[in-house]
Amino acid sequence: MPITPARALSALCVLSLTLAVFSGVARADLVWTPASGWKVQGESVLAGLLPEDGRNALDAMNKARATEENGHHSSAMSSYERIAKKYPNSIYAPEALYRAAKIRLERKQYITAFNEFEEVILRYPGTTHFNDVIGEQYRIANALLDGARNHYFGVIPGFRNRAKGVEDFEKILILAPYSDYAPLALMNIARGNQKLGNPDEAIDALDRMINNYPQSLLAPDAYLRLAQAHASLVEGPYYDQASTKQAITYFEDFMILFPSDPGVGSADKGAADMKKVLAESKIKIGDFYFYKRDNYKAARVFYNEAITSYPDSEVAKTAKARLAEVDAAEDKSKNPAAPRKHTHHFWLF
């Protein structure tokens, strides 16, 4: 069953109750050896579980493990799932559900495996398999994002579903927001959304990454990718420059925060490219006011902004030449007898 924010909240609400009920289990380990089968080390199974049920659950677990060891994985998987359903309050239930999910993963039943791993954590938050479960879920999400096909019944491959990989990474963030996998999940959410053509969602994931995990080793890469993601939205000097300005900000922040990072050269070039586009956009607006509206004051403002946006550049030289044209045109406008000559330009407006 997929996790939702409401379901996650519900799980947190029952967490304290679960831990209280499972106080015996929390200090017990379930260990398996070929010679003796499953054994509980530490305190015994839950108080309240009938002795006969405990014996039956143990016997069922031993039979399921023997079936698994003999290579009959499908039968073992079904047995484990029956145990988890029939004895949900026993120490064997989380282990049974975990092993069933592992077998489904081996059979490339990625979607069901992910959901069963999810149930292990939601129903048994104190499980000793917590880190292993999150690791397996990360593997599944990454596989789906990279194009792995979910196999129905462990045999029939379905269609690729990269969006499901992104969705699963989001679930990992809910289940384990403080784990080492959380920053990695956000980076993969960004990567997946870029593959799926969702740049805004990719930017959101990278923004969450640098804000929620600023000390992560992935933070420099997140900054650079965030700048590049904004730059990818820039359509040229004739369009809105909000993304251009954002890209410049993140490129410059990256160079300030991580001056020794190998990506500094790439960031410097990216910032220069964006400044060029921004300066060119100022010139285009200035040209409009100058050549189409004879508004010398407005034209000067935008030509000067072009120079400020990217000084000591070819674009700045063009802006300075335009300013000289404005001065000359304004002088001529004060003498109506001297006709004004316009330079011909090609317009897209």
pLDDT digits (tens, 9 = 90+) for 277-309: 999 999 999 999 999 999 999 999 999 999 999
The reply to whether 294 falls in a domain is: yes
The reply to whether 276 falls in a domain is: yes
The reply to whether 295 falls in a domain is: yes
DSSP 155: T
For residue 344, what pLDDT band results from cuts at 50, 70 and 90? low
Q: What is the count of structural domains for the chain?
A: 1
Whether 340 has a pLDDT exceeding 60, the answer reads: no
The reply to whether 287 falls in a domain is: yes
340-347: long-range pairs with CB below 8 Å, 24+: 342/291, 343/291, 345/287, 345/291, 347/292
**AA letter at 81:** E
The reply to whether 102 falls in a domain is: no
Task: Produce one character per residue of 264-287: b if its CB has 16 or more CB atoms within 10 Å, e if not.
Answer: beebeebbebbbbbbbbbbbbbbb
For residue 67, what pLDDT band results from cuts at 50, 70 and 90? very high
Whether 159 has a pLDDT exceeding 80, the answer reads: yes
Q: What is the pLDDT of residues 71-102, one digit of tens each?
A: 999 999 999 999 999 999 888 999 999 999 99
Q: How many residues does the chain have?
A: 349
Q: Which of 22-26, 48-52, 114-118, 137-141 has the lowest mean pLDDT?
A: 22-26
Dig out the tokens for 324 from the structure: 């000289």
8 A C-beta contact, residue 349 and residue 309: no
DSSP 25: G
Measured CA to CA, the distance from residue 91 to residue 174 in angstroms comes to 25
The reply to whether 69 falls in a domain is: no
Measured CA to CA, the distance from residue 313 to residue 110 in angstroms comes to 54
Alpha helices in 70-197 (DSSP H): 73-86, 92-106, 110-123, 130-145, 162-175, 181-195
The reply to whether 198 falls in a domain is: no
Q: What is the pLDDT of residues 9-41, one digit of tens each?
A: 444 444 433 443 343 344 467 888 887 788 877
8 A C-beta contact, residue 90 and residue 57: yes
- Which domain range does residue 302 map to? 250-349
